[in-house]
A and B are shown apart, each in its own frame.
Chain A
Amino acid sequence: MVLRLTMADAKTLRNILTSLSALVDEACIIADEDGLKVKAMDPSHVAMVDFEWSKSAFEEFEVDKPTTIGLNLEETLKLLRRMGDESLELNFDESVGKLEVKLSGRYKRRLTIPTLQLTGEEIPPLKIEFDVAAKITSSCLTRTVADAATVSDILRFKATADKLIMEASGELGEITVELDKTSEALLDLQVKQSCSASYSLTFLEDIVKSASNLAGTVNLEFSTDKPLKLNFEILQGKLVYYIAPYVE
């Protein structure tokens, strides 16, 4: 056995895989003594995900040696589609090349998922100093993104000393969401200097919809004409997305 892990709530695993599938159809999961890691860019290289799940997130976690598991996320999610309140045991044997998933709820079931031989892309780190760091509820972000997508392809983020503004405009209308220190949805705002930047709603929609199921709050950081960093606060791990800016 190369990797074996168990967790009480199987749905979290499915939500994580759904979040990753917002960017990529195939994921290269690295399992080592720290836990699980996925670092990937979408095929057009506009967005990136940096995901880590510490072994403390699992009830049991054993790995013989650092292993790479290649998964076709679309196919895997189809198999894991129906998940109720079940606990999960996952086993991976590199020599067999298949992922064995045992689910225990009202009854026990076992799924075998084929894995892929994938070579993970080497993604160099992003070194950016952000001028704005804001913490907002993920429900606020999800609703803003959904509303904005009805009028435009681009969402503009603006920050001044005490306000975070998200706006979008198109033929059908304009949407503006303004958050200040009195807004319930804005939990924190640090602004080094006023700035504004725009990002593709096509990416934001997919990312925010799935990641919001995993975290109630999201830290967003940006600077003028720099990537947007979305850090969804998940338990015992990190789920960070970067989206390249749309530059005028």
Chain B
Amino acid sequence: MSSKIALENPSLEEALEAFKLGVSARRILIIVGECRIDYFGRGHSELDYGDRVVTIKNDGALIIHRPFSLEPVNWQPSGSMYRAYVKNGSLIVEAYRRRPEEKIRVTFRSLLFLASLNLRDYASFKLYTSEEIMKKAFIKRPEIVEKGLRVVSEEKKVRSGLIDCLCVDSNGKIAVVEFKKSRAGVDAVEQLSNYVQELRTRGSEVRGMLVAPSLTREAGDKIKALNLEFKRLSVKKCIKVLESTGETTKISDFTS
């Protein structure tokens, strides 16, 4: 069987045939046509004839969209079962489920388009927290915090916890970088100080940088007292950095 079927202005019978084959083969079905929608279940609703896009996913989920608006006008969750037949010059598609008992009946009186698609998607969706966004942008372009910084390791486990980013600055000094998505307070400074202290005992000079959009006054005072540093960075700017598709190159890319 081919992996895609696309029919323009199909007859009701053609559409019925493609629909039955598609559902049994667990295809994604997209049906566009003039239809009315009746819902029976926890309540009852009717939507008179109009052009709509009906999508049936490979797991039985149903979504019906009108030509406008973000939200679908009707839907049914995954696991719904289907029946389709031609009656009185219309193609009727019914989606139903048992618990709770619900049924949506879509009555098509004409069809504009039908697609039956075999689609593959195994990617995992990742929604990043604000601090993950800051770290990701920093790793992509460390100069947004300071020119010459180089990331050595992330999520470095030390006795006092987990360091966001362990870096080396342009002078070769070790720098601990901690990110906070909102105004940083004294506890953030103390956390950073603990990391820096732990690394300082190993001999060399260690810098501590707290990267955040802003600082409380107490945090600012404490940073000065503990010889640590504050670098201003907003989450919004980080998102822009991640959005840009460009890349900084190196001079060595161009030498003979």
Residues of A within 8 A of B (CB-CB), count: 33
What separation, in Å, do the CA atoms of A228 and B144 have in the docked complex?
Answer: 21
> Is B120 an interface residue, CB under 8 A from the partner?
no
Which of chain B's residues have a CB closer than 8 A to the CB of A125? 255-256
Chain A CB within 10 Å, residue with most, of B147, B148, B245, B250: B147
Q: Does A173 contact B (CB under 8 A)?
A: no
Instruction: Establish whether residues A123 and B248, one from each chain, have CB atoms under 8 Å apart when the complex forms.
Output: no
Tell me, rounded to whole Å, the shortest Cβ–Cβ distance linking A172 to chain B: 11
Select B251's contact among A126, A198, A202, beta carbons within 8 Å.
A126
Cβ of B248 and Cβ of A244 under 8 Å apart? Answer: yes
Q: Which A residues are in CB contact (< 8 Å) with B69?
A: none
Chain A residues 5 to 56 lying within 8 A of chain B, measured CB to CB, are 25, 41-48
Number of B residues whose C-beta is below 8 Å from A?
A: 24
Shortest distance between the CB of A213 and any CB in chain B (Å): 20
Does chain B have a CB within 8 A of A70?
A: no
Distance in angstroms between the alpha carbons of A25 and B236 in the assembled complex: 32
Measured in the bound complex, the distance between the Cα atoms of B245 and A178 in whole Å is: 26
Output the least CB separation between B141 and chain A (Å). 8
Which residues of the partner chain B approach A247 to less than 8 Å between Cβ atoms?
246-249
CB of B144 within 8 A of CB of A244, answer no
A57-90 interface bits toward B, Cβ cutoff 8 Å, 1 = contact, 0 = none: 0000000000000000000000000000000000
Cβ-defined contact, B150 with A44, below 8 A? yes
A64: min CB distance to chain B, Å: 32
Q: Which residues of B sit under 8 angstroms from A198, Cβ to Cβ?
A: 246
B171 CB within 8 Å of chain A: yes
Q: How long is the Cα–Cα vector from A203 to B170 in the complex, in angstroms?
A: 13
What does the 1/0 interface line of B113-156 toward A look like (CB < 8 Å)?
00000000000000000000000000001011001101000000
- A153-B143, A202-B143, A248-B246 known; A43 and B170 CB under 8 Å? yes
Is there contact, CB below 8 Å, between A244 and B249? yes
In the complex, besides A45-B250, A46-B251, A202-B147, 13 extra interface pairs with C-beta distance below 8 angstroms are A41-B252, A44-B148, A46-B249, A46-B250, A126-B256, A153-B144, A200-B248, A227-B251, A243-B251, A244-B248, A244-B251, A246-B248, A248-B244
B residues in contact (CB < 8 Å) with A? 141, 143-144, 147-148, 150, 170-171, 236-237, 240, 244-256
Q: 8 shortest A-B CB distances, which residue pairs?
A: A124-B255, A45-B250, A244-B249, A248-B246, A43-B170, A48-B251, A244-B251, A202-B147
